[in-house]
Structure 1
Amino acid sequence: MTTVAAASNTMADDLWRDCAAWLTRCNIIPNDHRANHQDSDIKVLATILRDGVLLCNLVNLFDPSSFDRKDFNRKPQMAHFLCIQNIKLFLEACKTNFGLKEADLFEPTMLYDLTNFHRWFHSTLCADREN
């Protein structure tokens, strides 16, 4: 019999793997990236999304006019302010350009601090559905 915790872990595992697969289909991460390996875990994907660069690239792929490129920092080198700024650009584009509701979004610090994985993977996949 599957426990609620085990089912929840399976759903969370499916969610981040779906997100990695989608980012690969969008050519945001390469097919052979560690996040796509069978033995990978959620932290691998979380770590590469943490600075907001790939998320901004994703938004730019769908709508190049979604934010002012001068506000986007391509090399934040994990500087808190710059990473949060990139994440905020992504979230604002999701809301403004793709029609996501506030309830579908996450707080920028959740991604930067690598907390509440489910919430920010949900937001990323919602952006896909709206596009």
Structure 2
Amino acid sequence: MEGSFLRFYLRENQRHRGKLLWEWLLEQANRMGFRGGSAFRAMAGFGHHHHLHEDHFFELAGTLTVEVEFIVTDAEARRLLDLLREEKIRAFYAHIPAHCGVTLPDSDDVNEPEAAPGQKST
């Protein structure tokens, strides 16, 4: 399947409509019928202000990044990005083309036949 890898980088304590933004984003994607999504908390990192944040002290609670990611169709990615614009949410994201599939797929899995290494599947 051809689609998109869509990842958002959010502040751990960032909120929207009274909810943590990473939680709100997962809920919205679920309501839109996405097949899945995940949130991961960073151990350390820095952003555009070049200030290093590490998960060592209680005082830093809420200053680290949460990555929220989805493997989606291009149409799903556009719908979610449009929703964030409509809700006036400022968030950094990466939107990358992705080829994905399932090994040993079930009958309800969307999957392309696997090609031999170096060959493109049809």
TM-score, normalised to structure 1, is 0.27
TM-score, normalization by structure 2:
0.29
Please tell me whether Structure 1 or Structure 2 has the larger radius of gyration of its CA atoms: 2
Higher helix proportion (structure 1 or 2)? 1
